[in-house]
A = this chain, B = another copy of it.
Amino acid sequence: MAATDPLASMDDGTRAALDVPSDLLAIDPEAMRRLGYSIVDRVVEHMASIGDQRAISEEEPARLRALIGGPAPVTPSPIADDLGLLADVVLRNQQHGDHPRYFARVPGPSSYPAVLGEWLATGMQSVASSWGGGSGPTAVEIIACEWLRDEIGLAPTCEAVLLSGGSMANITGAITARHLRGEGVIYLTDQTHASIKRGLLAMGQPAEAIRSLPPDEHYRLSASTLRAAMAEDRSRGLRPLMVVATAGTTNTGAVDDLPSIADICDEYGAWLHVDGAYGGPAALCKRGRAVMPGLERADSFVVDPHKWLFQPYDIACLFVREPGALERTFAMYPEYLADVTGSEVDLHNRSLELTRRGRGIKLWLTLRAYGLDTIGRAIDRGIGLAEYAQLVIEADPNLEIITPAQLGIITFAARGRTDRDHSLAAARLTADGYAAVTSTVLSGRTVLRLCIINPATTTADLDGTIERLSAYLA
C-alpha cells in the first residue's frame, strides 16, 4: 500500500514509542482467571457472612494513608496483595448497605444476579450511548425500564433513561420540565429530598422561585397548601412550573396524595414530578401499590433500583411521560457523532451523559433471574418488617412511635429523653457495629429512624436492634 517505507522517516520518539510491546498491559490468562476467581470467592464469602460482620466500620485518615497511600506508584505492585488490601482495608471501612442490620439512611441490599450482570458488563466494556454503537445494551436498558414502567403502573407512554442516582435522575427530570415548559416556580416541601433543591439551584433555578412548603401533619405535601401557594404566585404574575411530589420520603416513607396534587397540576398547567427514588419499587407489590395511587399521572418519575431493587451502586431511572421530551431537551448532534445518530434510540440524547455504561444489564438480569413475583414478595417483606418493628416498639413502654411503619421506614423515640440522647443512642449502636442506625429530625425533634428494606433482615435482627436502643435510652 505505502509507496515508500514509512519507517524510514520515523523520528526517535516515534520509534521508541513503537518499541513498547503491544502486550505491555496484557496479563497471562491463567493469572487472570486466578485473580478473577479470587474475587468471586471473596464476594461469595462476603455475601454469605455479611450478617456476622459489623454493619459499618470507619478508619482514621492517617491509618488509611499509611496502608494505601504514599507517593505515586512508579513500579508495579502484586495485584493479589492489593486486592487483599482493598477487601480487608478499603471495602471493610464503609457502611455495608447490604448488611441485614444496616437500617441507616437508605440500605442497598444488593443481590448476586445484579452483581453478575454488572460484572459481565464491566468486563466487556459495555456502552449504551448511541444505537449504532450500543444496540444491545441500549435495547436491554429500554426493555428493563419498560418492564419497570408497566409493573410500577406509570403511564404507558413513559420513556426512560438510567442515571447514576436519584440526584441526577431528579435534576434531569427538572431540566426537562423547564426546557419544555419554560421558567417558573417549583414547589416542594422540607421533606423533599435535599439533593433536589441542591440540583435545582445548580441548574440555575433562582432560590426565590423555589417554594419549600410546610408539609401536613403526616409529613406529606398538603394539597391545600400547594393550591394556595400556586394561586398566590399566579396572582403575583408568576408561573407555576413544576411540583416535586414524593412517593416514599427518605425521612418517614410518607407518600404524597398524588391524585389531588395531579389535579392541581392540571388546573395550573404545572409539571408533576414524582420522586419515587426510595419508595417507587414498593409499587411492585400489592400492599405498596395500594398506598401509591396516581403514579400514572406523573409527568416524570424517578426510581432508584440501587435502593430497593437489589442492585449494586449505581443505577437510577428517570421516566418521562411525553414521548420525545427527553430528546428534545438533551439531543446533541456534533459532527463526530454524525455516523452514529439515526432513527433508533440514542440514549446519550436523553440526559447530560454522553459516554454511558450499560447500567440496564444488571437490572434486566435481576428481573429475569428472580421474576417479578419473587421481587414483589421480597419488597413486601421489607414493608412487613417495618410493621413488625412498629409492634415491637409499641410494646415497649419506654418508646413511642413518631411516624408509623410506611414503606419500610419507621421513626420512634424514647419518652422524656433529649435530642442529644437519641443522637447518641444511634451513634452508640452504630459504633458497636451490631447495627447501623441514624437519627433524623421531625418537627424539630431528633428521633430514631429505621429503614428496613433488606429481605435478609430477620425479626430477631429487629428485636436485637430495638432492644439495644431502648436500653441505651432507658
Contacts and interface: CB of A to CB of B under 8 A. Distances in A.
Contacts of A457: 22
Contact of A370 (B69, B76, B304): B76
Interface string A138-152: 011001001100110
Contacts of A441: 335-336, 338
A24 B214 CA distance: 40
Interface string A96-140: 111010001110101111011111111111111001111111011
B72 A147 contact: yes
A440 B356 contact: no
Given A116-B35, A123-B42, A313-B125, A374 B94 contact: no
Nearest to A338: B439
A403 interface: no
A401 interface: no
Contacts of A231: none
Interface string A185-205: 000000001110011001111
Contacts of A367: 72-73
- Minimum-distance CB pairs A-B, first 3: A204-B204, A17-B384, A43-B123
B87 A369 contact: no
A455 interface: yes
Given A134-B94, A147-B73, A423-B338, A4 B120 contact: no
Contact of A126 (B13, B91, B380): B91
Contacts of A357: 312-314
Copies of this protein chain in the complex: 2
B135 A58 contact: yes
A320 to B, nearest CB: 15
Interface in A433-456: 438-441, 446, 449, 455-456
A110 to B, nearest CB: 5
Interface stretch (A60-68, A218-226, A233-241, A259-267): A60-68
Interface in A315-341: 330, 332-340
Contacts of A7: 391
A48 B459 CA distance: 49
A352 interface: yes
A287 B18 CA distance: 13
A387 B17 contact: yes
Given A105-B336, A385-B17, A439-B339, A41 B33 contact: yes
Given A6-B394, A314-B355, A336-B438, 18 more contacts: A5-B395, A14-B384, A24-B381, A35-B116, A58-B135, A73-B367, A77-B369, A86-B120, A91-B120, A91-B121, A91-B137, A95-B132, A167-B355, A195-B332, A203-B203, A251-B335, A313-B356, A339-B438
A333 B459 CA distance: 32
A384 B338 contact: no
12 contacts: A16-B384, A17-B287, A25-B112, A68-B143, A74-B372, A115-B123, A168-B353, A171-B352, A194-B333, A194-B337, A251-B336, A314-B356
Contact of A139 (B68, B150, B203, B337): B68
A330 B40 CA distance: 37
Interface centre among A15, A204, A361, A440 (most CB of B within 10 A): A204
A106 B127 CA distance: 12
A9 B354 contact: no
B2 A396 contact: yes
A336 B440 contact: yes
A276 to B, nearest CB: 15
A83 interface: yes
A25 B94 contact: no
